[in-house]
Structure 1
Amino acid sequence: MNRWDGTPIIRFFGGRNLLYILGVLLMVGLNLFVYTSVAFLFKPILVFFETIALPIILAVIVYYLLRPLIMLMESWGIKRIWGILITLVLVAGLITFLVVLIIPFLEKQLVSLSEELPHYLRQLVNSIDEWLRNSIFAGYYTNTFQDVDSILNQLPDNLSSYAGQTVQGITNLISTVTSVVIAIVTLPFILFYLLKDGKKLPDMLLRVFPPKARPELASMFNGIDHQLSAYIQGQIIVSFCIGIMMYIGFVIIGLDYALLLAAIASVTSVVPYLGPTIAITPALIIAIVTSPFMVLKLAFVWTVVQLLEGKFISPQIMGKSLHIHPVTIIFVLLTAGHLFGVIGIVLAIPGYAIIKVLVTHLFFWFQRRYNRFSDEENKYRIND
């Protein structure tokens, strides 16, 4: 028996394993303390990664969208470099079509909606106020709240109190626009080399590790690639289908700003569970102000679209590739949104899928190693 295992208390808590875990925790705490003390030295590195993060993320998303088309062209006998150039030309033409024909129409609807939205909100508030004054809560409501018109009239004064934050807001907006412009400019170059040499990247990374670990790491890389490919391609197709169905439904029921509201629904549906709630809000406001019957028609369209998406489209396109429980998805979205904002919400699910693959493989390796040692100990015990 080792002298470290002689004490009953130490032996009760795991013997040498306890000392090893305490030593690891001590080293982790020491590293965190040193990092927080010299964090300013790492600021240039953080700025560098923040600068390249957005174009790389966009390039990876577009890479997984275009990779099937490149592989299809290769199966037809077209060289990869020519397939990439043809695909990029097609994408440039599609973007030009959107910019020339669809974007201006959406811009007009967006400007019109932004001008009419205060009117819609005022009508909505007045309708709620009138309903409350004629309901059983009239006495409590009248004694507790001020008149709605006086509250709305005070809005300009309340907004003016935040005028001091305008400069900071403009500065943040300029910084965000600059980052987006840099990402858009550098995206084609990163995407070209990613499409050209993307298949070689896992092999290049594997050469860094010992030969014994390469088969396991290759399996892990394949798992990450499968998860990202299934999620990105499937989610884009599902979002496109939702946008088309919503547009058809809005046109049938005669809802104003049908194309704009359908586009909003298509974009926000990228975020599971929370996206549909965000998308229905502007459409619901317009429907309530229009007429109660329009609310019923909107509810019918929304229910039909959600049923078609949940029962037929998503299972056929995305299947069960991620194997993530809905409650887990909600917690992941809320946590990522609180930590990283809108970008965190968009990247939460694929990020969680990558972490899940990593943790699953690490646990499998640890479990296999532990079982191997356990089998050896049992063999020695049987021989004894």
Structure 2
Amino acid sequence: MLKKSTQYWLRVVLIVLAVIFLWAIIPVLWPLIVSFIFTLILLPIVNGIQDYMRHRVGATWFPRWLAILPAFLLVVLVTALVIQFIVLPFIVEFTRLLNNLPYLISQLIVLWQTLTSGQWVALPPQIDAIVMNTLARISAYGVELAQRGIFAIFSIATTMLELLLVPIMTFYLLKDGRRLKTKALSIFAPPHNRYLLDVVNQIHRTMGGYLRGQLVLATNMFCVTLIVAYIYDLPYPLVLALLAAIAEWIPIIGPIVSAVPAIVLASLVGPALVVKVVITYALIQLIDGQIVMPKIMGHVIKLHPLVILTVIFVGGYFYGIIGMMTAVPLTAMLQIVLTKLWYFNSFYKKDGTV
């Protein structure tokens, strides 16, 4: 019994050391991380194709690798369309925005001075100084961003070789992911391996559902914002739409942040447009937050809004925008692990081992 217990704890120590090692080399493992994300998104498509061919068509011989090919072709098609109709026009539009940023900032300064110089608006000088300093910093940061853009192009070019690993890793994860997962957990003896498999499967389903749901929400927000920007003839519609899509990955506060640039740009046109943009964005966020998001994500992320806000601010404080975007899914994973540990004995009773 002692020998078995020693072997068990040695395995636990090895797993902990492996996790620490992987955490230390995360910057090198980003192609694998991206491959995991693509795997979670494409898995339902691959499973659906394979199940259809085997059970509906009757082709029981249909291999899994053949079901992966249509999913890959779909990704290639979507990527080509996104690059052609979104990425390339966005680069042109964003470059124009950076070139016009000093003029836009000067217009905002004039607008702010006009508002604060009237008899109806009397703000303390401290607030006026904060606003003016903020606008000056935005202008300086825009010039710096334009300078860094050249270096970013070379940086992206150097990482293209690493991107070649992503489809290869994704293929093998889709093809042999189940066997790899079972093999990794087989180092534990029953019933521990079955319990861990249940935890891993639940995390897998939650993360897959979260990624696919957020992808749908971000795409929906991109399309709606782009249509609104074109209807109201707002400048830089692609920039506003892409910002809204990215901000959709930050629950609760992201949509509010994405509305600020649209309101600022509308203020340069006229007060009537500002009112229209504020009302329209408020309606969009109301429908998205109260109807669309609960239908898509309600069964995936079961966290109280107060918890979501707390982890977003904590993640943003320590890791910036990346921390804000990853705080909610990581908290959902932690919730699953803690829940399973809390009801550990209940699992054994259900399993019939106690």
Q: In structure 1, what is the equivalent of residue 50 of structure 2?
A: 74
1:70–1:83 Cα contact (<8 Å) kept: yes
Cα distance in 1, alignment partners of residues 134 and 52 from structure 2: 64
Cα distance in 1, alignment partners of residues 42 and 176 from structure 2: 14
Cα distance in 2, alignment partners of residues 48 and 145 from structure 1: 44
Deviation (angstroms), 1:116: 2.0
Q: In structure 1, what is the equivalent of residue 28 of structure 2?
A: 51
The worse-fitting range, judged by mean Cα deviation, of 86-95 and 262-271 is 86-95
Cα distance in 2, alignment partners of residues 213 and 344 from structure 1: 32
Match of 2:249 among 270, 277, 285: 270
- Structure 1: where are the runs of 5+ without partners? 1-41, 371-375, 377-384
- Structure 2: where are the runs of 5+ without partners? 1-18, 54-61
Q: In structure 1, what is the equivalent of residue 291 of structure 2?
A: 312
1:132–1:141 Cα contact (<8 Å) kept: no
1:265–1:276 Cα contact (<8 Å) kept: yes
Cα distance in 2, alignment partners of residues 257 and 153 from structure 1: 19
2:36–2:170 Cα contact (<8 Å) kept: yes
Q: In structure 1, what is the equivalent of residue 56 of structure 2?
A: none
Cα distance in 1, alignment partners of residues 26 and 208 from structure 2: 23
TM-score normalised to structure 1 length: 0.72
Q: In structure 2, what is the equivalent of residue 23 of structure 1?
A: none
Percent sequence identity over matched residues? 23
1:121–1:285 Cα contact (<8 Å) kept: no
TM-score normalised to structure 2 length: 0.78
Match of 1:102 among 86, 103, 116: 86
Change (3 A) 1:131 1:195: same
Q: Computing the radius of gyration over CA atoms, which structure comes out larger, 1 or 2?
A: 1
Within 5 A, what are the aligned runs for 1:298-309?
298-309=277-288
Q: In structure 1, what is the equivalent of residue 114 of structure 2?
A: 130
2:206–2:300 Cα contact (<8 Å) kept: yes
Deviation (angstroms), 1:235: 1.0
Change (3 A) 1:140 1:303: closer
Cα distance in 1, alignment partners of residues 289 and 175 from structure 2: 36
Give the letter for the 1:92 counterpart.
V
Give the letter for the 2:43 counterpart.
R
Deviation (angstroms), 1:85: 1.9
Within 5 A, what are the aligned runs for 1:29-44?
none
Give the letter for the 1:81 counterpart.
W
Deviation (angstroms), 1:89: 2.3
CA-atom RMSD in angstroms: 3.7
Deviation (angstroms), 1:302: 0.7
Q: In structure 2, what is the equivalent of residue 6 of structure 1?
A: none
Q: In structure 2, what is the equivalent of residue 14 of structure 1?
A: none
Deviation (angstroms), 1:343: 2.3
1:329–1:349 Cα contact (<8 Å) kept: yes
Deviation (angstroms), 1:269: 0.6
1:250 partnered with 2:229: yes
Deviation (angstroms), 1:340: 2.3
Cα distance in 2, alignment partners of residues 350 and 140 from structure 1: 42
Q: In structure 2, what is the equivalent of residue 186 of structure 1?
A: 165
Cα distance in 1, alignment partners of residues 292 and 136 from structure 2: 48
Q: Secondary structure at the match of 2:299?
A: coil
Cα distance in 2, alignment partners of residues 153 and 251 from structure 1: 26
Give the letter for the 2:42 counterpart.
L
